Amino acid sequence: MKIEILGTGCPKCKKTTQNVQLAVEELGIDVEINKVEKLDEIIKYSVMMTPALVIDGEVKVAGKIPNKQEIINWLKEKTK
């Protein structure tokens, strides 16, 4: 599974990264986590607001910080 955090490194993006790491640790799953900070790469996902969270190529949220439980729920959907 591949998780991408889209954002330029702002505090909201850092909080999103932290929440992703906490969710992954709680579930004990092995995932690839990448930060995407280049605007040309972010635009490829048709995301206009950051932070954004992409799981296996699917944008799950954009323009807000997802909480740990939301991320856990999305990850559980992918591991079914």
- Of 10, 43, 48, 49, which is the active-site residue? 10
Q: Is 41 helix (H, G, I), strand (E, B) or coil?
A: helix
70 catalytic? Reply is: no
User: What strands lie across the sheet with 32-36, from one edge to the other?
Assistant: 32-36, 2-6, 52-55, 58-62
Is 13 annotated in the active site? yes
Pairing assessment for the beta strands 2-6 and 32-36 based on DSSP bridges: parallel
Of 46, 53, 49, the residue nearest 63 (C-alpha): 49
Catalytic residue among 13, 47, 71, 75: 13
Which sequence positions are flagged as catalytic? 10, 13
